Structure 1
Amino acid sequence: MVQFFKCLADETRMNITLLVHQQRELCVCELVAAMGGSQPKISRHLAQLRNCNILIDERRGQWVFYSMHPALPDWVTSILEQACDAQIDVLGKYQQQLKTMKNRPVC
């Protein structure tokens, strides 16, 4: 439990996690477009989230897609649902950025 909260203590990692939780699956380029960060920064945070067993990744051709780790306990899912509700304005902004992204990868 402590590791989970430590990993999400960073605002960027928290927002990445919430956006992936909400969207079910995103690639690095989508996260960069949505959040406006640099690719190396987003990738570094994604690696930390993978190391904390919060996210998993899957390579499909040139794309690497991230999704929630399937073994997360129910209490984590509940917390993420509540956090998504609390961050609705921020997540809405990210969703708008995703909608305007050109050449989005096809899952």
Structure 2
Amino acid sequence: MVDLNAVACCPPLAARPLEAEQAALIAPMFKALGDPVRLRLMSMIASVPEVCVCDLTAAFDLSGPTISHHLKVLREAGLVDAERRGTWVWYRVKPDALRQLSALLDVSSTTRVRARTTSRP
């Protein structure tokens, strides 16, 4: 499981290089999103408040166990939460995880700072 508090400690990549420990904590999140099926699943989950696994499975030409494996990877990476209701499992995105990845990839503030320090009067 990825510790989201540890990820929050990291400045944007464009601000300064990550320490080895920081990179090791964050890499599983990016690795989980590096698979096309998982990226699509993440998009489907993030685009609604919550979604049933039955709807996710129906959207792919893959077996139920394969989809379950991909969803487990997303859960273990700290990107989604799951809740069993009867025979179905419902998934929802962890907004803090996406905010932290977004902040890590943010270049807007560092671009402005670099532009000011490199511009000539």
Q: Tell me the TM-score normalized by structure 1.
A: 0.64
The number of aligned residues is 79
1:9 equivalent in alignment to 2:48: no
Aligned to 2:52: 27
Partner of 1:60: 85
**Contact kept? 2:84, 2:90, Cα under 8 Å:** yes
Q: Give the superposition deviation at 1:24.
A: 2.5
SS in 2 for 1:44: helix
- 2:73 alignment partner, SS class: helix
1:2 offset after TM fit, Å?
Answer: 2.0
Compare 67-76 and 39-48 and name the one that shifted more.
67-76
Report Cα offsets for 1:39-77 as digits up to 9, x if no partner: 010000001110000011001112110111243252436
Deviation at 1:8, TM superposition (A): 0.6
Are the structure 2 counterparts of residues 35 and 24 from structure 1 closer, same or farther at C-alpha, using a change threshold of 3 Å?
A: farther
Question: Which stretch shifts more, 66-75 or 43-52?
Answer: 66-75
Structure 1 counterpart of 2:94: 69
Bigger Rg over Cα: 2
- The 2-side partners of 1:77 and 1:19 are apart by 18
Q: Report if aligned partners of 1:28, 1:39 keep a CA contact under 8 Å in 2.
A: no
The aligned runs of 1:46-57 (5 Å cut-off) are 46-57=71-82
Distance 1:73 1:42 in 2: 21
Supply the distance in 2 between the matched residues of 1:7 and 1:49 (Cα, whole angstroms): 6
- Kindly report structure 1 stretches of 4+ aligned residues shifted beyond 4 Å: none
Structure 1 residue ranges without an equivalent (≥5): 80-107
| Mapped partners of 2:48, 2:103: distance in 1 | 16
8 A Cα contact 1:13 1:46, kept in partner: yes
Instruction: Give the 3 Å change call, closer, same or farther, for CA 3–12 of structure 1 in structure 2.
Output: same
Gaps of 5+ in 2: 1-25, 105-121
